[in-house]
Structure 1
Amino acid sequence: MSTSPEPLAFPFGDPPGLAVEAEFQRLRDTPGLCPVQLPYGGPAFLAVRHQDVKSLLTDPRFSRAESVGPDEPRLLPIVQRANLLMASDGPEHDRLRRRLAAAFTVRGVERLRPRTEAIVGELLDGVEKHGAPADLMELFALPLPILMICELLGVPPKDRLRFRELAESFLAAKLHQLTAQQIGQAGQELRGYLVGLVAGRHHDPGDDLLSTLVTEAELSDEELVGIAVTILIAGHEVLADQLANFSYFLLTHPGHHRRLLDSPELIPSAVEEMLRHTPLGVSTGSPRRATEDVELGGITVRAGEYVLPVMTSANRDASVFDAPEEVDFDRRTNPHLGFGYGVHRCLGSALARMELQVGMGALLQRLPSLRLAVPAEEITWCTGGLVRGPQALPVAW
C-alpha cells in the first residue's frame, strides 16, 4: 500500500466473550488509518473513529461495487457475487433499494409484529417443553430469524428445515469447520432452491414479500434471487447472534437484567444500547474501494485501495458517546452505527429492531428467572467467521 507501513494481521485476536479488542482504543487515539491484511484478499486500511466511518460510508468515491472480487479483503474464502443489493452503487443500488423500501418501513414492519410474536411464543413453548438445561441458541436465537425470513420469502413449512440447513452452511453459521468447497456447494443448492421459489411465484403468487416483488417490482429473476440471498445474509446469522449475545449480556449482568424485568418499557432503548455496546464479529463492515485518491482520517487513500469500516470501534468513540464503555439503558443520544450508515444502511433495520424487541421482551416475560446453566467462562464462542456468538447458550430457570 503506497501510503502505509507493512500491514498488520487482522483480526487482531479472539477476545473472550463479548470483550472488544483493546487495540481499537489505541488506534482511535492514533492519527491516520491502520493498514491490515485479512486472511483472504488484498491489504486494506481500518477506519476506527466514528467520523471516519461515517465519511467512508457516505463518500461516493469509496465504492462497494468495485470492492467485489478476488482481491476484496475478507474473512472467508468465498468470493462474493457482484449483483447483490449490498454490493452495488449509484443508480443501480437506488433502483433495487426502492423496490424493497416499502416492505421495510416501520409501518410495513409493524404488520409483521403479530406473526413475530406468535413465532416467538411458539419457540419459547418449545424451550419450556424441552426443560432445563436448554440451549437458547439452538431452540430460540437461531430459528427465530430464519423463520422470519421464511415468512418474508414464502418458504413452505415442509421446506423450512432444509432451507435452514442450507442457509447455515452457506453462511458458515456455527459450522466454521466447513471447507470452502462445502460452503460453495451449499450456496449452489440454496441458489437453486431460490430460483425454483421465484419461478413458482410467477405462476402461483402468495401474500409474501417475494410474491409482491415478482408481480410488482419489475425485477429480473436473477435480481430477485440476489435480493433473496441478500435478505438471508443480512437477516439470519447476524440477528441470531445478537439475540444470543444480548441474552448472554443480561444473564452475566444481573443489575441490567433486573432493571429490564422491573421496567420492561426500557426494552427499546436497551436494545439500542446493546446494539451500540455489543461487538458483532470482528467489528468490520464490507470494504470500500477508492475510485480515486481520497483524504480520509488524515491520510491519502490511493485509487484502488480498500478501507474497512470498524463499527464496534466507532460505537466506543468517546468524542461521540459519554462514558462509551458503560452500558446505559437511559442513554438519550445514541447515534450508534450498529446498522451501518449512508446509502447502504441496513434496509431491514426496522425489522431487526422489532424482532429484537419482541424476542427480548417475551424472553424476559416468560422466563424471568432465566440464568446460565454453566459458568460464563465455560461458554464456547464461534470465531473465524463473519460474526461472533456462542456456539451454545445453555440456560436454566
Structure 2
Amino acid sequence: MTEETPTLTGQAPPPVRDWPALDLEGTRFDPVLAELMREGPLTRIRLPHGEGWAWLATRYDDVRLITNDPRFGRAEVPRRQVTRMAPHFKPRPGSLAFADQPDHNRLRKPVAGAFTVAAMRRLRPRAQTVLDGLVDGVLRDGPPADLVERVLEPFPIAVVSEVMGVPEEERERVHSWTRTIISTSGGAEAAGQAKDGLYAWITETVRARRASTGDDVYALLGAAVGRGEMSEEEAVGLAGPLQIGGEAVTHNCGQMLYLLLTRPELMSRMRERPADRGPVLDELLRYIPHRSSVGLARIASEDVDLHGTLIRAGDPVYVSYLAANRDPEVFPDPDRIDPDRDPNPHLAFGNGPHYCTGAVLARTLTELLLDTLLDRMPGLRLAVPAEEVEWRRRTMIRGPRTLPCAW
C-alpha cells in the first residue's frame, strides 16, 4: 500500500482524512462520516489507532459489492496493523469475523442451529418470562426508573447467556468483561485484560463441554471440537464475539426507545397500530447510528477497479453500513424517520458471508423489549428533559448510558 495510489483515470487520489473518535450526543449522525459521504463513493481515512490509511466505501451498492466479493477478505487483517478504531487489537486465531471461505462456513456450521428462526421461536416464551420478571420489578418499585439499568441491560445479557450456556453464577463476571471490551475509555490495557479474562474463561468452558450433548452454544462448540470439526482455538475465537453480542442489543434498543420517547408522533404510531410495529422497527434499525466510526477492515487480494479508482492488492478497505443506510439513491430523504418506508432493504445487520450470526436473536430481543415496555407501561415518558439523558462516552457501540423514565 502506497501513500499515493493513482486512479485509473490518472487523477490524484482522494486525500487521507483523519477520522477521530467522536463522543456524539443522542442519535446524531457522525459529521465526519457525513462529510466523507459528500466527498465521493470512495475516500481514504486514518483512524485513531493502527498504521497507515484505508479506503472507505459509503454508497449502498458499493458496500454490498465489497462485502460479497471474495477479492476483499478478512483473513489477512490480523497479520496487519491496519488503521482502526479500537485501541486494543489482538484477534483470536479462528475468529469467525476474520475467516474467509471455505473456513467461514465450516466454522459457522456447528453453531448455526442455535440461531435459526425455529430456535428463536422456541426461545421466545422463556425470553418473555425473563423480561416480564424484570418489568414486574420496575412496576412494583414505581417511577422513576432507569430502564437501561433495570431492563435494557439485564434482559439481553440474561438471554444471550442462556443461548450461549453461561451458568447463572458466572453471568455478572462475563458481562463485566464484555462491557469493558466494547468501551474505549480504559484504553488498550483495560480492554486487553478483559479480553484475556473472557477468553480464558471461554477456553475452560469449551474444554469442559467436549462430551456435551446440550444445545447451547458452548455445548455445540465443545462437541464440535470433540468430533474434530474445529480446533479448540477456533471454537474459542468464534465464541467471543457471540458472547459480546448482547451489549449491542442493549444500546441499539436504548437508541430506539430514546427516539420513541422524544418523538410523540412516532410513539403514537407504535401504540395505536401495534400490528404494524415491524416496519417501524426496521426503519429505526436503518436510522440509528449503531456504532462509532467503522467496524472491521477487509484486504484486497488483487487490484480492483471501483468507480475508476484503483484499489491495489494489499490495500485495506472499510465499508460503512451506517452510510449505506443513508444512501439517498436507495432511501429517499434518508435523514428522516419514515415509518411507512417501503421497501426498506437496510443493512443494519451487515451483508454477505459476515452477516450477523445472531441477527434473528437480536431482532427477537428487540421486538420483545419494545413490545413489552410499550404494552405494559402506558404513558411511558422520560423523567428528565431529553437533553439531560446521559450518553455513553468513548465507546464503539453507541447508546444512552441511562434512560430515566416515568409512566
- The answer to whether the 8 Å contact 1:284/1:308 transfers is yes
TM (norm. structure 1) is: 0.93
Distance 1:180 1:386, change over 3 A: same
Please point out which of 15, 38, 46 is paired with 2:47. Answer: 38
Tell me how far 1:373 sits from its aligned partner: 1.2
How many residues end up aligned between the 2 structures?
A: 393
RMSD: 2.0
Tell me how far 1:23 sits from its aligned partner: 4.7
Tell me how far 1:298 sits from its aligned partner: 3.7
Point out where structure 1 has 5 or more consecutive residues left out of the alignment: none
Please point out which of 4, 10, 15 is paired with 1:2. Answer: 4
SS at match of 1:251: helix
Per the alignment, residue 8 of structure 2 pairs with none
Give per-residue Cα distances to partners, 1:302-359, cap 9 Å, x unaligned: 2222121111111111111122222122222111110111111112111111111111
Please point out which of 335, 348, 363 is paired with 2:345. Answer: 335
- More divergent stretch after superposition (380-389 vs 196-205): 196-205
- The answer to whether the 8 Å contact 1:103/1:209 transfers is yes
Give per-residue Cα distances to partners, 1:351-383, cap 9 Å, x unaligned: 111111111100101112111111111122223
Equivalent residue letter for 1:90:
Q
Per the alignment, residue 68 of structure 2 pairs with 58
SS at match of 1:8: strand
Distance of 1:189 and 1:341 partners within structure 2:
31
2:146 pairs with 1:135: yes
Distance 1:83 1:203, change over 3 A: closer
Distance of 2:239 and 2:48 partners within structure 1:
28
SS at match of 1:202: coil
Distance of 1:323 and 1:19 partners within structure 2:
16
Give per-residue Cα distances to partners, 1:172-221, cap 9 Å, x unaligned: 2xxx4323222211211111211221122235554423213323573322
Equivalent residue letter for 2:279:
S
SS at match of 2:54: strand
- The answer to whether the 8 Å contact 2:283/2:337 transfers is yes
Give per-residue Cα distances to partners, 1:244-297, cap 9 Å, x unaligned: 111101001111111111111122222111110111122523211112211224
- More divergent stretch after superposition (278-287 vs 38-47): 278-287
Per the alignment, residue 107 of structure 2 pairs with 96
- The answer to whether the 8 Å contact 1:31/1:298 transfers is no
The residue correspondences of 1:300-311 to structure 2 (distance < 5 A) are: 300-311=310-321
Distance of 1:312 and 1:392 partners within structure 2:
23
Please point out which of 133, 152, 160 is paired with 1:122. Answer: 133
Distance 1:94 1:14, change over 3 A: same
Equivalent residue letter for 2:254:
A
SS at match of 2:405: strand
- The answer to whether the 8 Å contact 1:191/1:225 transfers is yes
TM (norm. structure 2) is: 0.91
Distance of 1:35 and 1:107 partners within structure 2:
42
Q: Structure 1 stretches (4+) deviating beyond 6 angstroms?
A: none
Per the alignment, residue 235 of structure 2 pairs with 224
- Percent identity between the two aligned chains: 38
Per the alignment, residue 182 of structure 1 pairs with 190
